[in-house]
Amino acid sequence: MNGMEYIYCPNCGRRIEKEFNYCPYCGFNLKLQDRRTQGHIVIGPHPRMLFIRGALLLVIAIIMLLMIFSSPFSTDSTAIFFAIPIVLFIVFAVYVIYKALRGETVPTYRVEAK
């Protein structure tokens, strides 16, 4: 190894040198918020991407519900059996959209090489 220590940018996720004050790829201010926690780097998707993913999940779930209840081959009990997980899926999608609208992210962790 060349002795340099690397971290991952919390905004774009790219590997950069630990001494940088700003990410050279996205311009994120690394010194403003030191997000290092016990040897882990906290990163998460950008809230706008989180919103897009949540909205996409919501649209897919609604289409699936419409397909289940409009099918001539499904009975009421069969439709309800398949609808329950889709409703839970919708609740999850709404939660993701809610987090994105508040500007929060769902943190993921990447272990820093020592």
**114 domain residue, yes or no:** no
Query: What tens digit of pLDDT does each residue of 51-60 get?
Result: 888 888 889 8
Give the range of the structural domain holding residue 15, as residue numbers without chain letter: 1-43
Local structure of 22: helix, strand or coil:
strand
Q: State the average pLDDT over residues 71-82.
A: 75
87 pLDDT more than 60: yes
58 and 19 part of one domain:
no
**111 domain residue, yes or no:** no
Q: Would you state the pLDDT for residue 19?
A: 87
- Whole-structure pTM value: 0.45
Cβ(29)–Cβ(38) under 8 Å?
Answer: no
Domain final residue pick, 43, 58, 73: 43
76 and 51 part of one domain:
yes
Of 26 and 78, which is predicted with more confidence? 26
pLDDT band at 38 (very low <50, low <70, confident <90, very high): very low
64 and 27 part of one domain:
no
Q: Would you state the pLDDT for residue 84?
A: 85
| Cα separations in angstroms, 26 against 15, 23, 59, 90, 110 | 12, 6, 30, 33, 19
